[in-house]
Amino acid sequence: MSPGDLVVTAADPGFARQFGLSVEEIRGHGLLDLLRSSVPARLRERFTALSSGSSRRFEEKVTGRDGTGRNFQAEITAVAVRKPSGDMVGVVVFLRRSEGETSGGPVLSALDAQVLEGVASGESTVQLASRLYLSRQGIEYRVGQMLRRFDVSNRPALVARAHALGMFATGQWPPRVLPERVR
């Protein structure tokens, strides 16, 4: 990868395969076109810090898209490669898919899937608690766990992130989590 333009110049077959590409096909792709951060400008800022020398390496949670068009969650580690003179030659990027994630996002328990569906359809905590035979605190606990797991700050953002990860069946109301996303 070239530090100035963030273009992939060489890749391990396993890295390329994560995106459904061969080693030859991934060359020339912009790294920021392949990977996304929950905060859009953060990845570019982190790479800029590497190239300026203010940082030697960083780790970041990212979202990628595999060859079937499904999103996957991963963590990258980027390390600056420098000549003995200190000039930057490039950046090595290691990609590790998050544990417990499928190629399209997290896998939820059946109860968490029901809570997420209720949140997505606009049910209140009291309505969810009544329908699922849980306490209000039980619903708030589960929603809070999902907010942390999806790295979002509120219910609308949770629904948006779940939708972006392709967790809901399309064209269906009320929203339903796809069966492959439920364990």
Mean pLDDT rounded to a whole number for the chain: 86
Residue 102 has pLDDT above 50, yes or no: no
CATH level 3 topology of 107-181: Arc Repressor Mutant, subunit A (1.10.10)
Cα–Cα distance between 54 and 155 in angstroms, integer? 36
Q: Are 113 and 149 in contact (CB under 8 A)?
A: no
Nearby residues of 151 by Cβ (< 8 Å), 6 or more positions away: 38, 61, 161
Q: At residue 29, what is the residue type? A: H
Strands (E), 7-136: 35-36, 57-65, 71-82, 88-97, 101-102, 105-106
Q: Does the pTM of the predicted model rise above 0.75? A: no
pLDDT in tens, 19-76: 888 889 999 998 888 888 877 688 888 888 888 888 889 988 888 887 777 778 888 9
Q: Which CATH superfamily is domain 13-102 in?
A: PAS domain (3.30.450.20)
What are the domain boundaries of the chain?
Answer: 13-102, 107-181
